[in-house]
Amino acid sequence: MKLALVVPGGVDASGERRVIPAVLSLVRRLARRHEVHVFSLFHQREAGRWPLLGAEVHNPGGSSNLVCEWRALQAMRAEHRRAPFDVIQSLWGGPCGVAAVWAGRVLHRPVAVHLAGGELAAVPDIGWGAALSPWGRWRERWVLRQAQAVTAASQPMLALAAAVGVQAMRLPLGADADVWPITAPRPRKANAPLRLVQVASLNRVKDQPCLLRALALLREQGVDAVLDLAGADTLGGEVQRLAAQLGLAGAVRFHGELTQAQLRPLVLVADLHVITSRHEAGPLAVLEAALCGVPSVGTAVGHLQEWAPHAARVVPPGDALGLAGVLAELARDDVQRLALAARAQAIARAEDADDTARRFEQLHEQLHQRLASGW
Q: Are residues 268 and 217 in the same domain?
A: yes
Whether this prediction's pTM lies above 0.85 is answered by yes
Q: Give DSSP secondary structure letters for 191-250.
A: TPPEEEEEES-BSTTTTHHHHHHHHHHHHHTT--EEEEEES-B-STTHHHHHHHHTT-TT
What's the rounded Cα separation, in Å, for the pair 177 and 151?
A: 22
Q: Are residues 320 and 357 in the same domain?
A: no
Torsion sign over Cα 128, 131, 134, 137 = positive
Closest to 286 (Cα-Cα) out of 350, 200, 187: 200
Cβ contacts of 205 within 8 Å, gap of 6 or more: 118, 123, 126, 128, 277, 278, 279
Task: Specify the pLDDT at position 325.
Answer: 97
Kindly state whether residue 231 falls inside one of the protein's structural domains. Answer: yes
CA 11 from centre of chain:
14
Q: Are residues 234 and 290 in the same domain?
A: yes
Evaluate whether 66 touches 34 at the Cβ level (below 8 Å).
no
Kindly state whether residue 180 falls inside one of the protein's structural domains. Answer: no
The domain that contains 104 carries what CATH number? 3.40.50.2000
- Tally of domains in the chain: 2
Task: Specify the pLDDT at position 375.
Answer: 62
Kindly state whether residue 55 falls inside one of the protein's structural domains. Answer: yes
Q: Are residues 201 and 337 in the same domain?
A: yes
Encode the chain (375 residues) as per-residue pLDDT tens digits.
999 999 999 999 998 888 999 999 999 999 999 999 999 999 888 999 999 999 999 999 988 999 999 999 999 999 999 999 999 999 999 999 999 999 999 999 999 999 999 999 999 999 999 999 999 999 999 999 999 999 999 999 999 999 999 999 999 999 999 999 999 999 998 889 999 999 999 999 999 999 999 999 999 999 999 999 999 999 999 999 999 999 998 999 999 999 999 999 999 999 999 999 999 999 999 999 999 999 999 999 999 999 999 999 999 999 999 999 999 999 999 999 999 999 999 999 999 999 999 999 999 999 999 877 766
What's the rounded Cα separation, in Å, for the pair 41 and 209?
A: 32
Q: Are residues 286 and 361 in the same domain?
A: no
- Sequence-ordered strand ranges (E) for the chain: 2-7, 35-40, 48-52, 55-59, 87-91, 111-115, 149-152, 169-170, 194-199, 225-230, 252-256, 272-275, 296-299, 313-315
Q: Are residues 199 and 344 in the same domain?
A: yes
What's the rounded Cα separation, in Å, for the pair 82 and 167?
A: 34
Distances (CA, A) of 216 to 178, 196, 231, 246, 287: 36, 13, 21, 7, 27
Provide the domain limits for residue 344. 194-350
Q: Are residues 104 and 205 in the same domain?
A: no
